[in-house]
Chain A
Amino acid sequence: NAGVTQTPKFRILKIGQSMTLQCTQDMNHNYMYWYRQDPGMGLKLIYYSVGAGITDKGEVPNGYNVSRSTTEDFPLRLELAAPSQTSVYFCASFPRGPNYEQYFGPGTRLTVT
């Protein structure tokens, strides 16, 4: 199993541009999550999904959108990028919910200038 994969690894965006961060897991996990981590800080939950077709907001959803059309994929869309969205973005998944180990992807480092 490849686990949780994320693309791209790095990206530089100009203010106002849009992009989609890709996340795929091959473990058949229903629960998937997007976090952002600012330098030297903890993890903040952006959006999460408990199954295909179901998404919900986390702690910091403004400026982002998600969709979950398949069990495997959970893309994160940034519209009208702002410097405040400069961060490292991690995708993660659980097999059956938060009482189990969470698996993280390697992250996408995004800079907005």
Chain B
Amino acid sequence: GQQVMQIPQYQHVQEGEDFTTYCNSSTTLSNIQWYKQRPGGHPVFLIQLVKSGEVKKQKRLTFQFGEAKKNSSLHITATQTTDVGTYFCAGPTTNKLIFGTGTLLAVQP
């Protein structure tokens, strides 16, 4: 079945360093969504990318959707302690979302 993998599983950075997580799907996606889950919280929608090669920015966060629509990335510039949490990508299939395995980001002040 369709699978969505993310790397790395875990990353620890010093505050101010950059961070990137990569998402790879086994199949072509019509769109990709990104969610953030703070420790002890629930996943919260961040953004959706639809077009091949699309790049979107939200302040220090930059999201990219690959040309083949099978991969995506999230890059955070100059991490802050508020960026701590798990970042999930997700791709749609019939009637449901397939979530990636997630990347846990730890930020040391």
Contacts and interface: CB of A to CB of B under 8 A. Distances in A.
B48 interface: yes
A58 interface: yes
B20 to A, nearest CB: 19
B33 to A, nearest CB: 7
A42 B96 contact: no
B96 A104 contact: no
Contact of B96 (A40, A45, A101, A107): A45
A102 to B, nearest CB: 6
B80 interface: no
Contacts of A42: 88, 99-102
B95 A31 contact: yes
A106 interface: yes
Interface string B68-102: 00000000000000000000101011011101111
Contacts, number: 48
A99 B31 contact: yes
Interface in B19-77: 30-31, 33, 35, 41-45, 48
Interface of B: 30-31, 33, 35, 41-45, 48, 88, 90, 92-93, 95-97, 99-102, 104
B30 A99 contact: yes
Interface residues of A, number: 23
20 contacts: A33-B96, A40-B104, A42-B99, A42-B100, A42-B102, A43-B99, A45-B96, A48-B95, A48-B96, A56-B95, A58-B96, A90-B42, A98-B97, A101-B45, A101-B48, A102-B43, A102-B97, A104-B42, A104-B44, A106-B41
Nearest to B6: A42
Contacts of A82: none
B88 A43 contact: yes
